[in-house]
Structure 1
Amino acid sequence: MCRWAAYLGEPVFLEDIVTSPCHSLIAQSHHALEGKTATNGDGFGIAWYGARDEPGRYRDVLPAWSDCNLKSLCGQISSPLFLAHVRASTSGATSRDNCHPFVSGRWSFMHNGQIGGFERVRRRLEASLPDHLYEQRHGSTDSELIFLLMMAEGLASDPQGAASRAVSRVIEASEHAMIEPDLKLTAAFSDGERLYAIRYATSGHVPTLYAGTLRGGTGRCLVSEPFDRSDPSFEAIPAASFVEVTDRNVLVRPFEPQQARALEMSA
């Protein structure tokens, strides 16, 4: 699967999480300790917020540890809110369009997990998207599709409800295909003001998620694995949780699927 890290707080250089710590995201890309695979070399990406509403983004298909541009950018870009991801492919080719984070308007999204039996439910789920969101589907991953389903379910006005309804839609598609739902969803997403995350699975192992602070208390982090494993501030987020991070606190609420609404096809 994948490894990711997200930050919200006072502006810091991306290198403070992505490249510099002893167990940075780049370190996790070639030696993850809590993932299904130790190596996450099928591309990487970062999305960061600054003076504009929409995030900047840099993605490539190279392993994160071998891209010299990534280290240079992380040493020059500071941001109060960013998402960073290293990929271990579970669906979709190794291409730039399949690298996280995905972006739609001011929203950014990244994911660790998968939709089990994706090829048997993909067509039904894609067909349920309104036209204006289907046109934004540039890659072939289940992750991007989950993000667009959340957008269709009202992410802009109701983040937790939209995520819950998108999960329900995936479960319904699996049941329609007569396969046991097997969704693993540890994801982070943001509108440029707040940071959200989900840790959920329909059954079995749930990909890891931790919340903590940067040393010195400059901001809050959500991560697949702590990037400083000696830092006691990092705490595991329970399974079946929805997380909302603001500049003041971290709120953790129960998460479960709720009935998906009927989506209308529109241009």
Structure 2
Amino acid sequence: MCRWLAYSGSPVCLEDLLYKPQNSLVVQSKHSRMGAETTNGDGFGVGWYGRHTVPGIFRSTEPAWNDRNLRELSSQALSGRVFAHIRASTGSPVQQSNCHPFRRGEWLWMHNGLIRDFHLVKRDLVLEIDPELYPEIEGSTDSEVFFYLALSYGLAADPPAAVARAVGHIEETGRRHGVEHPIQMTVATTDGVTTWAFRYSSEGQSRSLFHSTDISTLREQYPDYPLLHGLSDDTRLVVSEPLGDLHGAWREVPESTCLTVRGGQMDIADFTPKAPRAAA
């Protein structure tokens, strides 16, 4: 599958997230501890917010550990909201348009998991996408179709409801085609102000997902740990797997959960898919 991180808080250099932690995302690209695959070398992507409402993105088909441009960029770019993703393809081609995060306007989206038997259900899923949005799909992944389903169901107005409707439609369509467990997902999306993260799977055995604990508490607990003193109290991270072994720094996100991060506020709510027609 894949590994990803979503950061918000005081502006940090991208290399502080991607390279410096003990179990950084670049380390995970070769030696993931908790992923379905140890190696995630089918490309990567970084999205970050700077001077403009629309985020910048940098995506490459190179393995993250081998891309000199990523190291160069990450040593200079500074941002208070960052999405980063390393990819292990579940079958779609290794090409830039299939690398996460995906972007539309101010929105970013990234996904770890898969829509099972995508080749069987793709046509039915794509027909549900808003005709005005469909021409903007650039790649061939199930993850991008998932994103555009959520956009079609009102992601900009109510992200949890839109994702619930998209997952409900995917499950309904998959089961109609005889797929027992249609979706496996951890998803993150943001509009540049708030981040929403979801952990769910049809079989109830979802890929790993964690969030950071309160930075101010960790700062008191580890006064000699320098990285913590450079971060604001509202700093939050949501990650596929912990970036280090600091005791008490990470908590697992429960199954079937939606996590909302806005500033220093983090809210956890149950996540339940909804059939689109019933939700409408």
Q: TM-score, normalised by structure 2?
A: 0.91
- % same residue: 40
Deviations 1:56-89 (A, max 9, x none): 0000000000001101111111111010000000
| Structure 1 unmatched ranges of 5 or more | none
Q: Does the 8 Å CA contact 1:54/1:106 hold for their aligned counterparts? A: yes
Deviations 1:181-232 (A, max 9, x none): 3311101110010111000001052101100056235311000011122242
Letter in 1 for 2:123: R
SS of equivalent residue, structure 2 residue 65: helix
Runs of 4+ with deviation above 4 angstroms: none
SS of equivalent residue, structure 2 residue 103: strand
Deviations 1:223-255 (A, max 9, x none): 001112224221000010001001122111000
Residue 52 of structure 1 and its aligned partner are, at CA, apart by: 0.7
Question: Which runs of structure 2 are paired with 1:1-267 in the superposition (5 Å)?
Answer: 1-212=1-212, 215-216=228-229, 217-218=231-232, 219-261=235-277
Q: Does the 8 Å CA contact 2:170/2:182 hold for their aligned counterparts? A: no
Question: Distance in 2 between the 1:181 and 1:153 partners?
Answer: 22
Letter in 2 for 1:99: C
Question: Distance in 2 between the 1:45 and 1:229 partners?
Answer: 25
SS of equivalent residue, structure 1 residue 7: strand
Q: Does the 8 Å CA contact 2:13/2:76 hold for their aligned counterparts? A: yes
Superposed CA RMSD:
1.6
SS of equivalent residue, structure 1 residue 93: coil
Deviates further, 240-249 or 169-178 = 169-178
Letter in 2 for 1:251: D
Question: Distance in 1 between the 2:265 and 2:129 partners?
Answer: 34
Letter in 2 for 1:51: R
Letter in 2 for 1:250: M
Structure with larger Rg: 2
Q: Does the 8 Å CA contact 1:153/1:261 hold for their aligned counterparts? A: no
Q: Does the 8 Å CA contact 2:107/2:192 hold for their aligned counterparts? A: yes
